[in-house]
Structure formats: C-alpha cells, structure tokens
Amino acid sequence: MNKLTLIAAMLAPMVMGKTLTASQELREYQSVRKRLRSPKEYAPGGKTFAGIENLLSQYDRQQNNNAPSLPTLRDNLPTITGRLDNAKQAQLIRGIAEKVQLTRARAIHSTSDWTEFASAYARDLEERARMQDPRFNEDLYNHAEHELRGNQCKGFSCLDDSVWMYDGAVHSDILHECIHILSTPGGLGPFYNMFGNDLNEGATQFFTERVCETLGVRGPDFAVRYPDEVDFVKSLCDTYGLGVIYNAYFKGAVEPLLDDMVKQWTTYVKQKLYADRSKPGFRERNMVKQNKKAEMKDEIRQNMRKFKMKLKWVKARLL
C-alpha cells in the first residue's frame, strides 16, 4: 500500500459516504491534519491546497466575525518598555501570534490559478509604482509574471492589506506574509525604509519563526527562509533586546534602536577597541569626540542596509 492509499484508507471512515458542510469539513481537516505530513495530503473531493486554505480562512472569518480591522490590530500591538525576561518575551510572541491569526482571517486569498495570482501581483506593483509617480500607467503583468517565476514566489502581501498565496505555499509562508501586513500596510514602513529589504525580510522571518514555535507549525508546514538575515536579527536581539527590535519592526520606533546603536559604537570607540580586536581610526574617534550623532546614525543606516556585504563592519561596531 503506498502512502497516499494508506492515508485515503485512514480518512475513509471519516470522509466517505457523507456530505460535509464547509465547517464540518474543516473540523475534519483540523482533526486529521495532525497525523498527516502536510495539509496537501488531505484532499476530500479533490480539494486543492488553495481550497483548503480558503476553507481555513472562511472558518477563521466565521470564528472571528468581530475581528478588528488591520489598522486596529496594528494599533493594539503594545509598545514595549525595558528589557523583557523570558516569560514576558513568550507573552509578547503569543500576543503577536494571536494577531497574526486574526490578520490571516481578514486578509488571505489563496488560488491555484496562476494568471489570477500573477494579475494580483501586477496590480500591487502598479499601485506601488503610482505611489512614486501618480501618473504611472503601465501594465506590469509580464514583469510580474517574470519576477514571480524567477524567484519561485508562492506568496506576497499587498498595499491594500491583502495577502495572496499560490498552490504549494507552506503554512509558515502564509504566516510570514501576514506578519508583513500586520507590521505595516503592504510591509512598507519605517523599518523597511531605514534598513532596506533584506533586513526587513530577516525581521519578518525572525518573528515568523517565533510565531511558528508558539503555534506548533513545524515539520513540512515550516519552510526555512532568509537564514542569514534571520541569524543577523537574532544577534541584534541578543545585543539590543527583543523589545527594542520588536518596537522598531512592529511599531516603527527605529530611532530608539539607532540611538542604542550609536551608544554601542561609542562605547567601543571610547575603549579604543572594537569587538573584532581592530582599533577605531582617527575619523571615527573624532566623530565620537565631537558627538556627531547624526553622522554616526547615517553611517550605521548605510552599513545596515548592506549588512551582508558589511557584516564585518557591523559586527565589530554594533554587536
């Protein structure tokens, strides 16, 4: 008996011979999925991944009829003060996980139709281009399709607070996209503007991983993404505290993080030794002596935006 037949046999008593309503079907799905390797293996009536995802979000919507709007969910995320102990960190992540689920109930569109998926992406690209130039009036479908195929993209989040997922996306990817739009509309905001796309993806995936741990999303439901960026965000949390990184990413409070970075850099300069045992040069000593914080911040921002290339610089001064 091959694996699929085995699974079909296992499910047969539950799903064959009766017509299930959508919410019954979903309950069945939720009860059996624990035993399955991935949601795709449960496909009564030829349900596709997208079908199941839509069922899930319909169900979430039913359960969360009064779910707050996304702007309200964002506003309701707390601002953190002070260092968090382990219990408070876990509490913070549980709060994020809860709001991620509500975001998912509001925002998700799943599809097995490639043209629909690519068209939605093109519309969002056009919308973003219009933000830069209101006169923008080009059809970006071909561009969108090329880009999606090029990076084998299975999901994206849009400026209008919606999330699109394509057949084959795993659970953690859906949560990743929800975290993008829970943090800021379309995933654009002070953190992205300050530190650029790579670090923004790293922070998004870092919080995705923590939320997945909390919700028990693991095994084939979890996909590793942006490992270097995530590692770097972990180091930032070790140095500056989860609360400061969270405030910067979710609440747009990037200035306090930059202030702390200037302090860290200054401490190294004053002790005349960087973390990698190299020594601060004249220019850097002078910046500290003359208290040129704005210049220091600007330099930090530029190096952080290219942190993969500038890892040595960043690690020596800021970690």
Chain residues in the site for Zn ion (CB under 5 A): 201, 204
Minimum CB–partner distance for residue 204 and Zn ion (Å): 5
274 phi-psi bin (left φ>0, alpha ψ -120 to 50, beta other): beta
Strand order in the sheet with 155-157: 108-111, 163-166, 155-157
Q: Which is nearer to Zn ion, 25 or 229 (CB)?
A: 229
Q: Which is nearer to Zn ion, 201 or 284 (CB)?
A: 201
Q: Which one, 230 or 314, has the nearer CB to Zn ion?
A: 230
For the stretch 203-206, contacts whose Cβ atoms lie closer than 8 Å and that sit 24 or more positions apart, written own/partner, are: 203/229, 203/233, 203/245, 203/249, 204/176, 204/179, 204/180, 204/249, 205/176, 205/229, 205/230, 206/230, 206/233, 206/234, 206/237
What is the closest distance, in whole angstroms, from the C-beta atom of residue 173 to Zn ion in the complex? 9
Look at the alpha carbons of 262, 263, 265, 270 in this order and tell me if their dihedral is positive or negative. positive
Neighbours of 101 (CB within 10 A): 18
CB of 192 to Zn ion, least distance (A): 10
Joined together, the tokens standing for residue 81 give 């003060």
42 versus 232: smaller Cβ distance to Zn ion? 232
Distance, CA of 78 to chain centre = 18
Sequence-ordered list of residues with C-beta below 8 angstroms from that of 217, at least 6 positions apart, any chain:
171, 172, 175, 211
Q: Which two tokens stand for residue 3?
A: 């694996």
* Smaller CB separation from Zn ion, 161 or 201: 201
Find the shortest distance in angstroms from Cβ 166 to Zn ion.
14
What tokens were used for 78? 């707390």
Min dist CB 127 to Zn ion, Å, is 17
Q: Which is nearer to Zn ion, 101 or 204 (CB)?
A: 204
- Rounded Cα–Cα distance for residues 166 and 67 (Å): 25
In angstroms and rounded to an integer, the radius of gyration of the C-alpha atoms of the chain is: 23
Identity of the residue, 132 or 151, whose beta carbon is nearer to Zn ion in the bound complex: 151
Assigned token pair, 161: 């607070």
Q: How far is the CB of 31 from Zn ion (least distance, A)?
A: 31
Q: Do the strands 155-157 and 108-111 form a parallel or antiparallel pair, or are they unpaired? A: unpaired
Please report how close the Cβ of residue 201 comes to Zn ion at its closest, in angstroms: 5
Q: How far is the CB of 179 from Zn ion (least distance, A)?
A: 8
Residue with Cβ nearer Zn ion (99 or 317): 99
What whole-number distance in Å separates Cα of residue 301 and Cα of residue 296? 9
